[in-house]
Structure 1
Amino acid sequence: MSLPLSPSDATTPAEVDPVVVAPRPVLLLVDGSSYLYRAFHAMPDLRGPDGQPTGAIHGMVAMMKRLREQVAAEHAACVFDAKGPTFRDEWYPDYKGHRPPMPEDLRAQIEPIHEVVRLLGWPILEVPGIEADDAIGTLARLGEQSGHRVVVSTGDKDLAQLVTEHVGLINTMSNESLDIAGVTAKFGVPPDRIVDYLTLMGDAVDNVPGVEKVGPKTAAKWIAEHGSLDGVMANAGRIKGVAGENLRRALDWLPTARRLVTVKIDCDLTGHLPGWPALEALALRPVDPDGLLDFYGRHGFRSWKRELEAQAVVAAPAPAASPAAPRARDSGGTGDLFAAEAPADEVDPPSSGRYDTVLTREQLQAWFDRLRSAPLVALDTETDSLDAMQARIVGISFAVQPGEAAYVPVGHDYPGAPEQLPLDEVLALLRPWLEDPAAAKLGQNIKYDTHVFANHGITVRGYVHDTMLESYVLEAHRPHGLASLAERHLGRAGLSYEDLCGKGAGQIPFSHVDIERASRYSGEDSEMALQVHQVLWPELEAAAGLLDVYRRIEMPAARVLVRIERHGVLIDAGVLARQSQQLAQRMLTLEQEAYDIAGQPFNLGSPKQIGEILFTRLGLPVKKKTATGAPSTDEEVLQQLAADYPLPARILEYRGLAKLKSTYTDKLPQMVNPSTGRVHTNYAQAVAVTGRLSSNEPNLQNIPIRTAEGRRVREAFIAAPGHVLVSADYSQIELRIMAHISGDATLLRAFAEGLDVHRATAAEVFGVPLDEVSTEQRRYAKTINFGLIYGMGAFGLAQSLGIEQKAARDYIERYFTRYPDVKRYMDETKAGAVERGHVETLFGRRIVLPEIKGANGPRRAGAERQAINAPMQGTAADLIKLAMIAVQQAIDDEGRASRMIMQVHDELVLEVPEAELDWAREALPRLMAGVAQLKVPLVAEVGVGANWEEAH
């Protein structure tokens, strides 16, 4: 069976114009099963008016709409897996045997997804007994034979075997396109060897074993050396090492593996596509606006419903195939899909708006007048650096309404660049508006742009919205970059930075980007941010708790963080240099001791060599294995072995010192800003789902303080002359939150009476008077207290304390007997999380737990542990942010010279003039305790010193 020939193929060679060859029409095939899973996991837990899940539906609609806009195709199909077993299950009963069942929330969205895909004009194909891949493979070959250019939209590497001169892949999630060269570059083998490649590696997702310990590099290397899988098998006796032995053991299995990973291209599709085998069976149809209006209304998609209602003209049928190839931009260095057939004037996807390039004073004045009169302006900067403290402006863009933006280039310096307005002149005109708190502005990651303008002496005021933080509050577990937000909420994709500048060693600075393309890129950023805000803001307004978190915590915290980052912290490079030298000497000693114990030199940084020494030469017991079957030498294993054997202890200490030296004592002096003489960390706000800040470049939160060497690093963080460092740290904050949330009378009483809560727990669990609790009993109680609030079970507690599981279970039972409301809280929280799919902090922050429902045992158990701890950890994160805001407000209101310089976990660190020390000692505990009223006292402990370590 074959598809009818296209007109271009019906032409005889004598009739073909020697210059102009008719382009092949496009057949677009969508891996629908891949799409719906990606949509489900990419979207938040959205619900329709009837309470049914709609996140996957929303994501599917956005992706299908965008794909149809990007790829000009006459014919298409969205292909889904059908229910029930396939022929591969008959060949191999364990095929896909370990896959968890489809989550119930996704299963409930399958029928609506099929309905809306049809309403969007897509033919749907679902064939019982075969997989979607096989249906796609069959259509791809028939399409190619009929003269089509076939585009397969998928994220599945298995389909790379289908790529030919006229069949290519695009991945809309990563903007990657793959032709023959692209497949070869990405996998190391051409498309016609992908089956061999997959056979050797196996497919863990589908539970198809390959050759043990053979990964992508080895598979590609063997195929390159021996030509094919058959060549590898024929030469199995010559391949040396463990991998060669494993290959020989797998020889009988490999033909079955090859059969399983081969996509069929000759399936009978009769009866599964109306009108098949006529080409019209795959014709893209016009969207059904009336049906979509009804569908959007039923499922609560208000924005799309309004968009349809506002259109004066019903959407026309999909355009006929054009010479332009799909413009999915490549992130893997392979070039545009079928670029040779695409006209040179369509390098970028079609623009969704009008973007002015401002090159004259008249244009700038006109836009400035618009900015002053607009109720809300989206603002963005283009710079020469990602380092916010050192970045300089190359251009500025604004948007005041969807579909329209302006870009003011000021620093493009490539040969032939048009004359631009001077930066100083542009900033002088904009300054009054930028610094006006009444001029409402929004941005994407406003903290960065605030720093950039500050580098030019401008203090931006009036930021009222940040789309990154709106997304973070609404759906903390999703990505919050503008590209992700635009795709997720608008179904749009703009130019990427790599599209303009390239990547890797060949990347050019933004100042070398053609101004017209830069205008398009930056204009899109501003204009898409404005549109994303228009989608997210109504959702925030409709959720009072989340709106409060956004307005009361996240937006004010962003402004405080700018000031903390900007001030920075002084570093004593001499102290760090001495510490580096001492660490190096100790590492040399440890290295020699390790050699002596092992009986030979080896690389202490090589897991493979460590494994050979520990388990082959010394015969130490194997505690666990890696995914490839090799004995693991990770930190957990070495910790277990170190209790009984000296070599693992030496290796652990060496690793710890090496990391300390490379990450801190060597690196920190290199990170001092030459303009300020200080280190300026970046506090990422939109990373941790619990609301905690994440410090990076450098990471001040991960300095290891359990060792003396780690604690000494803090000695290098010093106060300026005439100042001291003051550390204010919430005391046992998560246990206090547990007492408040659970309402447990015994725990509340311990805190109310100011008791040592770990000693009090020990007295309860071990049944001894408070004053007779031993140091060991207190240590056990402390582990139990903190372990249980992290959802630790008997196994984890036994490992932490080095005791039998039965004893750990007894301790837990005694604990819950004495603290029954803690147990009640844990049970109710888990049950509520399963029902709602999320938990909340005391302040209303929502923490979504995607794997609390539908995931397999270990993943679900992990989500349940997170459900117990997340409300406490998230509430603690909210408290420290509120404390930062309160302290900064007091400093400003009182005109103090003290400055916050660090936020680490539950601690604030300030650089305080000696004259304000008494104020700091009194005010910090009061301010930090006053940000919330709990059932137990909030206590902040204050320490003072010339350096950070002394302040503890």
Structure 2
Amino acid sequence: MHALAAGAEAAIDSAVFLLLRPRHGSPRCRHNSTMTQTASSEPLLVLVDGSSYLYRAYHAMPDLRAVPGDPDSAPTGAIRGMVNMVQALRKSHPTDHLAVVFDAAGPTFREQLYPEYKAHRAPMPPDLRAQIEAIQEWVRLSGLPVLVVPGVEADDVIGTLARCAAQQGWRVLIISGDKDLSQLVDERITVIDTMSGKVRDRAGVQTEFGVPPHLMVDYQALVGDAVDNVPGVDKVGPKTAAKWLQQYGSLDAIVAHADEIGGAAGANLRRALSWLPTARQLLTIRTDCDLRDHVPGLPALDALRVRAPDAAALRAFYERYGFKGLVRALAEAEDGDRVQAGAATAAPAAGDRASLALEGDGGPGAATTERGGLQAAPLQVDIVSDEATLQRWLQRLRAAPLVALDTETTSLDELQARLVGISVGVESGQAAYIPLGHTGAEAVGRQLPLARVLAALRPWLEDAAAPKCGQHTKYDRHVFANHGIQVQGYVHDTLLQSYVLEAHKPHSLDSLVERHLGRRGLSYEDVCGKGAAQIPFAAVPLPRAATYAGEDAEMCLAVHEVLWPRLQAAPALLRIYELEMAVSAVLWRMERHGVLIDAGELQRQSVELGQRIRALEAEAHALAGVAFNLGSPKQIAEVCFERLGLPVLKKTPAGAPSTDEEVLEKLAEDYPLPALILQHRTLAKLKGTYTDKLPAMVNPATGRVHTRFAQAVAVTGRLASSDPNLQNIPIRTPEGRRIRQAFIAPPGCCIVSADYSQIELRIMAHLSEDPALLRAFAEGQDVHRATAAEVFGVDASQVTPEQRRYAKTINFGLIYGMSPYGLAKALGIDASAAKAYIDRYFARFAGVQAYMERTRAQARSLGYVETVFGRRLYLPDIRSPNGPRRSAAERAAINAPMQGTAADLIKMSMVAVQQALDAAGCRTRMVLQVHDELVFEVPQDELDWVRREVPRLMAQVASLRVPLVAEVGVGANWEQAH
């Protein structure tokens, strides 16, 4: 099965796991790091920097509470984050010996040595402090050793244990994002940052810092540590420190040659000579701490052996803090343990059957398939390899009230994919797999002919009265259509059920199964491998392939049985779900039809863009006085800041001068070279992304480009377009707009664009019920002119173009939560003037301000806001103690109902217009949906009907307090239709 994954408690499982997994690994892979999978017999010790994990868990999470929605109940976000982080770690780096090390309260020797040590650190947030005891309790209940040593920092505990283990021949993995621990790295000790995926072994440290691990203390002493308030040498950064150490070999040697080092850096070094020994002492991690009272038996490490978790105490813990999903997962795991013995001795059923308990990990004798500590449910899968079994399953399909249908295919490309197999699920624990294209030797003679199977299934597949469900059904409909079958009767899609109920969470079947069933099945990587060693699904041994495929169908049905009652209990969400199901069918038709492009026009544009790009490069080289690569941020920085001496406005996280778009736009106000670089970037992107790429994406079988529309991505309900993305063609420049000239109609047809007029402002008027806005739209006024008249206190007829521009910026800016600073930047005025405009706006449009305050309050109370039609837009950070994240969530709370309502309206229009086209027997085809616009391919003899009916249908899909208006344009290509 190929399912598209999207963009409170259950969401945290996947969100934190994705946040923490190594970037080079798979989120569902049992072991993310090859480092723990060597054939070495050396024992492994894993040391977890618990203090680092604490903060990461806290800042990664929304403001969860033991009683959801009750801000006075105990905070639980950091606890839940820590649970997930440690569980993910246990799966990715399994070992029998592990310790989680936390800082103890109180001073250490470093404060005695230097009272200003860590003096600038902000105090720990009270909500985090309140969760530390519970976090440490959970670690202990999970069977993991916890170390908190008074008077000793966690780094020193880790350093001592790491060196002790390494000296005894152990391999050591330190799990931390703290670069200070790099000084411990040697041939046996490695530091892994599970957040960024960085592996700091000897080579990794050298590559990252420019010095080997044994010089890291010297390097840190020169650079200093701002986090711990340890000064280094003034104005000496990472590059200079690494260069000196490479040249002289050590800090002591640098000090000995301090008089030879010239410039300001040398002078600063000489001023710091008396301080450097103290800095090095503060920054050196101790490896000789006396830990015998906390790790009995040292130097032996038996005290750090992982024990069995206390299941009963863990259940009570999870119940105390409201972690229902974890309670359920714990119960499922215990149930799996109880059935394990029976499953292990079971024999395969007669005929061809694959049992998950037997085949899940490769064959008879494997009692269960363990996926991250969760036990898989018993599952019986029939392999349909003969006519009698096929007929028996056809009878079951016709008799079942609902059948989960899934495909295994040759490709993720919907229009290219061919069937390898079909799986169906009809009840819990029961599924069938019909192999059709397997190539392994064991599949010979065990597959019915493809044509025979499809002929037998066709009446049921194309029966609209035979109810079916699936996960991302649009994909499977394409696959069957590739074989000439138009599947009817899809009444449910678990991907869309999840999207409507919990848009802010992942929607892959794996995620849904873990979240709602407390189970975990085989992953695609489990059966096919990964990376260069991955094999096609057709080459997977048949019993294992059947287990994987049957599991998908059975789990899909089980997830539906959980989610469907929740939708039925929420009438507004049920209507949104019905809308999404209808939209999925419309999108399938749009994707299948595609859009015609003029490849020759794009090639001409590409040539012209190439000429302009080369001219810009020549001009830029002349301005700089040197040739350089305009596509290289590093070379741009060298030219702008080192050669030309332009002011550095911002730095990257690594400390280098930034050359991002915001910086270049600011510099372009005063300097010509940044303006040229921005022009170059814009044109190069147009050429690379569109004029060069689109012709190569034409499907040779249809002569068209077929974009993929994704529903379950944007939390606001907006559609996303990919492969190619046709929703983000830049239209602010003439060159960008010209791209749309290449989207054409076939002979005898034209392109029609139907676009909602000022839809989000109309929705704002509806939601806020502001009298002035309602009046402007009711009277058909130019709303920006009307706003300018109100804000500037003049008659509408006296509004100047500049005033209208200001009003337009204010209108749209406030929808997106623009601050006075943002408005000042947009208008090119100072912040005090921008604030005055905003104040004047709210004084004249008091209803808008009241709506915003009301919406923020609702968001804080419920954790979500709603569209006019009831779509829920969740805001996990709305109660976050992190100020910037909370402010961003408050801005989103204002905009989301408008953007989400606009998404609902355009989707309602798509369904209404398609139904009208079908009812009228029209040949007109909807080919694109872009934001608030629908694009059609219209035969000339249907043009009048489309121009009349489409805007009428779009205006009448809903009744708001202001009229909806859709404007229609016609042309030979998409650009002309605007």
Structures share fold, TM-score greater than 0.5: yes
Q: Which residue of 1 aligns with 2:376?
A: 352
Q: Which residue of 1 aligns with 2:698?
A: 672
Distance in 2 separating the partners of 1:814 and 1:92? 54
**1:827-838 counterparts in 2 under 5 A?**
827-838=853-864
Check 1:474–1:279 CA distance in 2 against 1; reply closer, same or farther (3 A cut): farther
1:593 aligns with one of 613, 619, 625:
619
**1:340-379 counterparts in 2 under 5 A?**
352=376, 354=379, 356=381, 358=383, 360-361=385-386, 371-372=397-398, 374-379=400-405
* Per-residue deviation, 1:729: 0.9
Instruction: Say which SS state the counterpart of residue 554 (structure 1) adopts.
Output: helix
Match status 1:447 vs 2:474: yes
* Per-residue deviation, 1:437: 4.1
Q: Which residue of 2 aligns with 1:802?
A: 828
Q: Which residue of 2 aligns with 1:575?
A: 601
Check 1:507–1:816 CA distance in 2 against 1; reply closer, same or farther (3 A cut): same
* Per-residue deviation, 1:575: 1.3
Does the 8 Å contact 2:602/2:692 carry over to 1?
Answer: yes
Query: 1:170-223 CA distances to partner (integer Å, 9 max, x unpaired)?
Result: 88889x89796996899799996695799499889878899989889x999999
Does the 8 Å contact 1:165/1:179 carry over to 2?
Answer: no
- Identity across the alignment (%): 63
* Per-residue deviation, 1:714: 0.7
Does the 8 Å contact 1:839/1:871 carry over to 2?
Answer: yes
Match for 1:796: what amino acid? G
Match status 1:843 vs 2:869: yes
Does the 8 Å contact 1:62/1:490 carry over to 2?
Answer: no
Instruction: Say which SS state the counterpart of residue 679 (structure 1) adopts.
Output: coil
* Per-residue deviation, 1:387: 1.8
Match for 1:921: what amino acid? R
Check 1:794–1:46 CA distance in 2 against 1; reply closer, same or farther (3 A cut): closer
Does the 8 Å contact 2:329/2:518 carry over to 1?
Answer: no
Q: Which residue of 2 aligns with 1:755?
A: 781
Deviates more, 1:254-263 or 1:710-719: 254-263
* Per-residue deviation, 1:861: 3.6
* Per-residue deviation, 1:672: 0.6
**1:85-100 counterparts in 2 under 5 A?**
none
Instruction: Say which SS state the counterpart of residue 678 (structure 1) adopts.
Output: coil
Instruction: Say which SS state the counterpart of residue 773 (structure 2) adopts.
Output: helix
Q: TM-score, normalising length from structure 2?
A: 0.78
Match for 1:656: what amino acid? T
Does the 8 Å contact 1:477/1:689 carry over to 2?
Answer: yes
Match for 2:897: what amino acid? P
Q: Which residue of 2 aligns with 1:944?
A: 970
Match status 1:719 vs 2:741: no
Query: 1:20-65 CA distances to partner (integer Å, 9 max, x unpaired)?
Result: x996777665555555666667777665556445565556556666
Q: Which residue of 1 aligns with 2:496?
A: 469
Distance in 1 separating the partners of 2:517 and 2:274? 51
Q: Which residue of 1 aligns with 2:486?
A: 459
Match for 1:781: what amino acid? A
Match status 1:883 vs 2:909: yes
Query: 1:548-581 CA distances to partner (integer Å, 9 max, x unpaired)?
Result: 43x1343333332222212110001111122122
1:768 aligns with one of 787, 791, 794:
794
Distance in 2 separating the partners of 1:198 and 1:540? 59
**1:147-166 counterparts in 2 under 5 A?**
none
Distance in 2 separating the partners of 1:546 and 1:881? 15
* Per-residue deviation, 1:810: 2.0
Instruction: Say which SS state the counterpart of residue 938 (structure 1) adopts.
Output: coil
Q: Which residue of 2 aligns with 1:682?
A: 708
Instruction: Say which SS state the counterpart of residue 887 (structure 1) adopts.
Output: helix
**1:381-530 counterparts in 2 under 5 A?**
381-400=407-426, 407-413=433-439, 418-419=444-445, 421=447, 422-485=449-512, 496-498=523-525, 508-515=535-542, 518-519=545-546, 521-523=548-550, 525-526=552-553, 529=556
Q: Aligned-residue CA RMSD in angstroms? A: 5.0
Query: 1:363-403 CA distances to partner (integer Å, 9 max, x unpaired)?
Result: 55555555555555544433332222212223344455666
Distance in 2 separating the partners of 1:220 and 1:725? 61
Does the 8 Å contact 1:594/1:650 carry over to 2?
Answer: yes
Distance in 1 separating the partners of 2:330 and 2:717? 37
Check 1:877–1:589 CA distance in 2 against 1; reply closer, same or farther (3 A cut): same
Match for 1:386: what amino acid? L
Check 1:416–1:302 CA distance in 2 against 1; reply closer, same or farther (3 A cut): closer
Match for 1:126: what amino acid? V
Does the 8 Å contact 1:100/1:856 carry over to 2?
Answer: no
Match for 1:911: what amino acid? E
Match for 1:448: what amino acid? Y
Distance in 2 separating the partners of 1:459 and 1:725? 27
Query: 1:126-185 CA distances to partner (integer Å, 9 max, x unpaired)?
Result: 3445454544454455566778776666677776776777777888889x8979699689
Match for 1:818: what amino acid? R
Distance in 1 separating the partners of 2:588 and 2:403? 21
Work out the number of aligned pairs and report it: 904
Distance in 1 separating the partners of 2:589 and 2:633? 43
Instruction: Say which SS state the counterpart of residue 602 (structure 2) adopts.
Output: helix
Match status 1:812 vs 2:838: yes
Deviates more, 1:939-948 or 1:63-72: 63-72
Match status 1:554 vs 2:580: yes
Does the 8 Å contact 1:352/1:403 carry over to 2?
Answer: no
Does the 8 Å contact 2:328/2:518 carry over to 1?
Answer: no
Match status 1:745 vs 2:767: no
Q: Which residue of 1 aligns with 2:896?
A: 870
* Per-residue deviation, 1:914: 2.3
Does the 8 Å contact 2:165/2:171 carry over to 1?
Answer: yes
**1:610-621 counterparts in 2 under 5 A?**
610-621=636-647
Match for 1:427: what amino acid? L
Instruction: Say which SS state the counterpart of residue 932 (structure 1) adopts.
Output: coil
* Per-residue deviation, 1:812: 1.6
Check 1:259–1:466 CA distance in 2 against 1; reply closer, same or farther (3 A cut): farther
Match for 2:376: what amino acid? S
* Per-residue deviation, 1:931: 2.8
Check 1:62–1:866 CA distance in 2 against 1; reply closer, same or farther (3 A cut): closer
Q: Which residue of 2 aligns with 1:791?
A: 817
1:928 aligns with one of 927, 943, 954:
954
Instruction: Say which SS state the counterpart of residue 460 (structure 1) adopts.
Output: coil
Distance in 2 separating the partners of 1:245 and 1:520? 70
Instruction: Say which SS state the counterpart of residue 421 (structure 2) adopts.
Output: strand
Match for 2:148: what amino acid? E
Distance in 1 separating the partners of 2:225 and 2:427? 48
Deviates more, 1:840-849 or 1:100-109: 100-109
Distance in 1 separating the partners of 2:570 and 2:265? 56
Distance in 2 separating the partners of 1:826 and 1:589? 49
Check 1:458–1:141 CA distance in 2 against 1; reply closer, same or farther (3 A cut): farther
Instruction: Say which SS state the counterpart of residue 480 (structure 2) adopts.
Output: helix
Check 1:32–1:639 CA distance in 2 against 1; reply closer, same or farther (3 A cut): closer
Check 1:474–1:950 CA distance in 2 against 1; reply closer, same or farther (3 A cut): same
Q: TM-score, normalising length from structure 1?
A: 0.80
Match for 1:449: what amino acid? D
Instruction: Say which SS state the counterpart of residue 728 (structure 2) adopts.
Output: coil
Distance in 1 separating the partners of 2:236 and 2:714? 34
Distance in 2 separating the partners of 1:313 and 1:347? 13
Deviates more, 1:410-419 or 1:652-661: 410-419
Instruction: Say which SS state the counterpart of residue 407 (structure 2) adopts.
Output: strand
Check 1:938–1:76 CA distance in 2 against 1; reply closer, same or farther (3 A cut): same
Match for 2:760: what amino acid? E
Check 1:708–1:468 CA distance in 2 against 1; reply closer, same or farther (3 A cut): same
Distance in 1 separating the partners of 2:470 and 2:260? 61
